[in-house]
A and B are shown apart, each in its own frame.
Chain A
């Protein structure tokens, strides 16, 4: 079964660089959420998108931005990378904007040096 997919799986960047992470939701799912998971902690909510519109935003700086495309895939962009941005970035999809059950992708592990 085609679950949530994310690319790339791993990424190494240096401070000040920019990164783009990609996510494809489960077929039929229209909502995508992004989370940051620092080692040893629970996932922290970054954004939720539904029908290409931002529906929710967590407590992250403006360096973080995202968008959703007509096919419901999504990109997370992070500018001016800091060492503290090193984390596992998870994408989760759900069927509708009011459907709480979220299914996670495998994540992109970002290391900022």
Chain B
């Protein structure tokens, strides 16, 4: 089955700096890659997603890139703010009835 690896497990950045989280997946048939943000004690919330027919997608300070050949995708957060502090999960899916497989999470701390 699909295996998603995520790095780093923890990340500390100064406010205003950029943060990058990287994920790799194993199943070349995966075609949908969402990113979720989970604050302590709260539900995962979708922040951005990308499909396999797109190489990059941007939404304000957040961007995601996908390299299908290498089977990796990354989340980029620019101009980080303290409220960006949370655990971020990448995920992969083949769509349809296929399950969504999550990475192990990255705890991001933005230091004011």
Contact = CB atoms under 8 A, between A and B. Distances in A.
B71 to A, nearest CB: 18
Contact of A107 (B43, B89, B100, B102): B43
Contacts of A42: 6, 89, 91, 102-105
7 smallest CB-CB distances across A and B, nearest first, come from: A42-B102, A45-B99, A55-B97, A100-B32, A104-B43, A56-B97, A98-B96
Nearest to A99: B95
A76 B98 CA distance: 19
Interface residues of A, number: 23
Interface string A97-110: 11011111111000
B44 A104 contact: yes
A58 B103 CA distance: 15
Contacts of A44: 102
B45 interface: yes
B34 to A, nearest CB: 7
Interface residues of B, number: 24
A45 B95 contact: no
A72 interface: no
Given A42-B104, A104-B44, A106-B43, A48 B89 contact: no
Contact of B44 (A40, A41, A48, A90): A90
Contacts of A55: 97
Contacts of A33: 99-100
Contacts of A104: 36, 43-45
Contacts of B42: 106
B109 interface: no
A20 B91 CA distance: 27
A18 B84 CA distance: 38
B101 interface: yes
B105 A101 contact: no
Nearest to B102: A42
A48 B97 contact: yes
A25 to B, nearest CB: 14
